[in-house]
């Protein structure tokens, strides 16, 4: 006598229901994943402007100890000519190299430092510009450093953000 095999299979309705539920879950997860990726890329800007701040602080403090009236911060030109969605290699001139800053290579952001004043009137601003999604809108991070009357550099605790995940 021959045994009959039973084949277990899904009905079309069960398959369609499974696909519908899966697509609903994916439609909820994809925006979260994209935002998480942007946040991870944006961390580059925060980390790098903190490094630049630290380098400026160290350079200023070294000069301020010997020549308080002549101490100033270094102005640094923008590291990238244009900002794109894809990571690029920065163009670092002698001023950048003099501070021994490790700018991500390749990186998603362009960095720039504007400095003014000397001694206790010295101040600087570090900028990070990026366009993570390539839509032409730029995100910007800024930290401002200044010298207090005792010659200490302050300002690192406050990072300003404009469209941080743009």
pLDDT in tens, 54-69: 999 998 888 888 888 8
pLDDT of residue 85: 81
pTM of the model: 0.80
Residues 141, 160 contacting (CB under 8 angstroms): yes
What is the chain's mean pLDDT, rounded?
87
């Amino acid at each position: 006598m021959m045994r009959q095999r039973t084949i277990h299979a899904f009905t079309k309705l069960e398959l369609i229901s499974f696909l519908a539920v899966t697509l609903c879950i994916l439609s909820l997860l994809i925006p979260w994943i994209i935002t998480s990726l942007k946040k991870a890329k944006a961390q580059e800007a925060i980390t790098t402007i903190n490094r630049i701040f630290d380098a400026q602080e160290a350079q200023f403090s070294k000069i301020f100890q010997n020549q308080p009236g002549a101490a100033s911060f270094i102005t640094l030109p923008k590291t990238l000519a244009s900002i794109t969605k894809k990571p690029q290699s920065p163009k670092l001139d002698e001023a950048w190299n003099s501070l021994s800053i490790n700018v991500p290579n390749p990186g998603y952001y362009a960095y720039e430092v504007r400095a003014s004043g000397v001694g206790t009137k010295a101040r600087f601003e570090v900028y990070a510009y990026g366009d993570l999604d390539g839509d032409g809108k730029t995100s910007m991070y800024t930290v401002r450093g200044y010298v207090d009357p005792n010659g200490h550099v302050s300002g690192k605790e406050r990072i300003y953000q404009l469209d941080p995940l743009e």
